[in-house]
Amino acid sequence: MLYIVAVAIGIIAGKLAGGKIANLAELKLEKTWIIITAFLIQATAQILGLNGFGFISRYSFVIQAIVFCLLFSGFWINRRYLGILFIGIGCLLNALVMMFNGGKMPVKESILISQGATPEIIEQVRLGLDGKHSLINDSTRLVFLSDIIETPPVLDWMMQIISLGDIIVVIGLCVLIFEVTKDGNAPYKAGGFNSEKAN
């Protein structure tokens, strides 16, 4: 996945800036269960939708609203990290396009075809059986934020179709790993926000 590349680049950049890989052990995110719960809800909804549980699709808007509320809560709690802010912005862009399109991420059919999606998968998306995606059509809003970016062949084994929000999330992850590799737990000690004072 592109996230693996982002982590690798962040580590290398952090090392070149004088940091240590061991500093990654100092990464301390608060209330991580909130973020994990959000991803579990989203993954479960998508799996159920693709396996014939039609009611999941009908409640996509509500499910995704819950997912993004949980994610943004987790990001806000950990906003002391610059990388987390970037990740939050990327997720916000994805949330906007999904909320404006019934809780699903619009995706370009031509890219699905070029990336080898089977007719069955495309038909499931067309029929609304995918709990997370829908096909782009004339009524789709905020198309420029949709899944319309096809990754280069050298990277398509990681993530084949991405959105602008996904790119910003990947950048945020890279920045997060860089700042922790370089300075360890410095974001907690830097001026502006101190978790101990906040308590």
The per-residue pLDDT for range 177-188, each reduced to its tens digit, is 999 999 876 655
Is it the case that residue 11 has pLDDT exceeding 80?
Answer: yes
How many contiguous H segments (helices) and E segments (strands) does the chain have?
10, 4
Quote the CA–CA distance of 29 and 16 in Å, as a whole number.
24
More confident residue, 130 or 148: 148
- Does the pLDDT value for residue 57 go beyond 80? no
pLDDT at residue 71 is higher than 70: yes
What does the pLDDT average to over 38-61? Answer: 79
> What is the structure's pLDDT at 183?
85
| pLDDT score recorded for residue 59 | 81
What does pLDDT average to over the chain? 85
Look at residue 187 in the predicted model and tell me its pLDDT. Answer: 57
What does the pLDDT average to over 102-109?
91
Better-scored residue on pLDDT, 163 or 150: 163
CA of 108: how far to CAs of 100, 125, 134, 160, in Å?
16, 11, 9, 12
**Rounded average pLDDT over 72-78:** 94
Judge whether residue 199 has pLDDT over 50: no
**The pLDDT of residue 189:** 45
Average pLDDT over residues 35-52: 83
Q: Say what the pLDDT of residue 105 is.
A: 93
| Cα dist from 118 to 2, 113, 147, whole Å | 23, 7, 18
Taking the C-alpha atoms of residue 162 and residue 147, their distance in angstroms, rounded to an integer, is 5
Cβ-proximal residues to 71 (8 Å cutoff; 6+ apart), any chain: 34, 35, 38, 88, 91
Residues 114-143 pLDDT 10s: 877 888 888 888 887 777 889 999 999 999
pLDDT of residue 44: 87
